[in-house]
Amino acid sequence: MTLIERATKSANSLADETVSTVSKIGTAVADGVVVTAKDIREGIQEGHVRPRTLIAAAAIGLVVVVEWPVLVAAGGVAVIVSKLRSRSTETAQ
């Protein structure tokens, strides 16, 4: 296996892990938003909002504000590696 093949294999592995991690983060944030929205709706109906709901809403807001550049960059890297992967398979044939 040549150096370029090993580097390509490593990059592909990294891209797969990045996509997996981004997917897990997105799922966790979506689940958090659903639970928080439900808690807020129940809190409004009951006349008070639980402290855990405020903490969850703040955490979701923090993730949205702070982490979105990381997610965009990771997604961009995954797209680039995917393009390189398809290009390397075309040249091999």
> What's the pTM value of the predicted model, to 2 decimals?
0.48
pLDDT at 57: 78
Domain positions in the chain? 28-92
SS3 assignment for the chain: CCHHHHHHHHHHHHHHHHHHHHHHHHHHHHHHHHHHHHHHHHHHHHCCCCHHHHHHHHHHHHHHHHHHHHHHHHHHHHHHHHHHHHHHHHHHC
Q: How many whole angstroms separate alpha carbon 21 and alpha carbon 11?
A: 15
pLDDT at 59: 78
Both structure tokens of 11: 């990059």
pLDDT tens for each residue of the chain, 93 residues long: 687 778 777 777 777 777 777 778 777 777 777 877 888 888 878 888 778 777 877 777 777 777 777 777 777 777 777 777 776 665 655
